[in-house]
Structure 1
Amino acid sequence: MIKTLCPDYKSKVGDCLQSYYRVLNHLCALGDVEKMYITPLVDKKASILDKQILVLDLGCGQGRVAAHMAAATGAQVTGLNIDPNQVTQAKEFNEQMGLRNSFTTHDMNELPLPFEDNSFDAFYQIQAPSLFKDPPALFRELRMVLKPNAKISLLDWVTYLF
């Protein structure tokens, strides 16, 4: 998608995402749509994450997955999303849940990311790679903000056809 939209990526994707999020925010208001990413069969006692670690969530949406991860593991999640409305909803939801997660409005394609080097112990994203403008550049930046031996998790539908 990004290759198709360049060089007007920012204006085209920005308009597209604003329309998408207007609809998605209404759908999410009907229920916990993000629960489809959280399996009910997970053993909450078994985690690859240590308590008190810092986790980066690119494309955090309304923060439901971040809340689940923090509640299940004791981690603190920092979410990044391009849509300020979803960031506001993520903050409100996580505060209501009594969690210390934080959320920032930022386009993940505007590098560098707004974090210090070696800030995070882990990183995950759900369905964000299709919006990566320059995947190698973004992964180089992620390598900078992640601590050595950080854990990563990528969940996406088919983004690239090889």
Structure 2
Amino acid sequence: MIPFNYLGYFFKHFGSLIYPKEVLEELCIFLKPLSDEASVLDIGAGTGVMSEFAHRCNSKFRYVAVDPAEGMLKYMPEYVQTHLASAESLPFEDESFDVMLMGESLHHFKDPKVAIKEVVRVLKKDGKLFIYDFDLGTFRGKVICKMEKLLGEPGHFYEADALKKMLEEHGFSVNISKHKWRYTASAYL
């Protein structure tokens, strides 16, 4: 397995560099309709790249993050409340958050379907989910998937349409935007 617990410094200083500018712009458009009192949960947050991007869009939101690697969470920005937890067992009450973010984390989850059920449980009615990940339907996506599996990671990568279908099965309406060998899914309950 990738030793994420020891890679926090690296991800903190270099992780944001792999996010295309248009993903940040898309995230801001996705978050714009929310009130300033909105609560945001970053799942599989690592060092908080997605939280930092969302914070650039609106610094007034309440930011919370979960990740199973304590060595990643220690590099989280001060404005983010952190919890050591997995996506499959979120330590929150039902309907606790207005929006959830997953930035290049879904493919690391041990059981993505259980994680999505947890998202639905913890997301408020009319809540929103934003996912950014690698597209298994592309050559680069397939290479990254194979590399991660060789490193012992779960490697739950999806083609964009397969992820859309899985989210729709859990009650979301979904818009997919492709970004070369990656994509975003904007999902609404």
The two structures have a TM-score, normalised by structure 1, of 0.70
2:38 corresponds to: 53
Residue pairs, 1:40-119, within 5 angstroms:
42=25, 47-73=32-58, 74-90=60-76, 94-95=77-78, 99=79, 101-109=80-88, 111=89, 113-119=90-96
- Alignment root-mean-square deviation, CA: 2.7
Deviations along 1:116-148, one digit per CA (max 9) or x if unpaired, are 111000111011221232222221221111001
- Compared CA separation, residues 64 and 129, structure 1 to 2 (3 A): closer
For 1:83 and 1:134, locate their aligned partners in 2 and report how far apart those are by CA, in whole Å: 17
For 2:66 and 2:119, locate their aligned partners in 1 and report how far apart those are by CA, in whole Å: 13
1:25 aligns with 2:8: yes
- Compared CA separation, residues 66 and 114, structure 1 to 2 (3 A): same
For 2:95 and 2:28, locate their aligned partners in 1 and report how far apart those are by CA, in whole Å: 27
Structure 1, gaps ≥5 residues long = 1-15
- Compared CA separation, residues 137 and 56, structure 1 to 2 (3 A): same
The letter for the 1-side match of 2:82 is F
For 2:5 and 2:97, locate their aligned partners in 1 and report how far apart those are by CA, in whole Å: 27
* 3-state SS of paired residue (1:102): strand
Q: 2:21 aligns with which of 33, 36, 39?
A: 39
* 3-state SS of paired residue (2:87): coil
Q: Is 1:70–1:76's contact at 8 Å kept on the other side of the alignment?
A: no
Identity rate, percent:
22
Greater strand proportion: 2
1:154 corresponds to: 131
For 1:45 and 1:138, locate their aligned partners in 2 and report how far apart those are by CA, in whole Å: 24
- Compared CA separation, residues 149 and 142, structure 1 to 2 (3 A): same
Structure 2, gaps ≥5 residues long = 137-156, 163-189
